[in-house]
Amino acid sequence: MRIVIQRVKSASVDVNGSTVGKIQRGLLLLAGIHETDSKEEVDWCCRKIRKLRIFEDEDGKMNRSVTDIGGGLLVISQFTLYGNTQKGNRPSFIEAAKPDLAEPLYDYMVDTLKKDFDGLVETGTFGAMMDVSLINDGPVTLVMER
**Is 80 an active-site residue?**
yes
Closest among 38, 40, 28, 34 to 1, alpha carbons compared: 34
Q: Among residues 80, 112, 125, 141, which one is catalytic?
A: 80
Residues assigned a catalytic role = 80
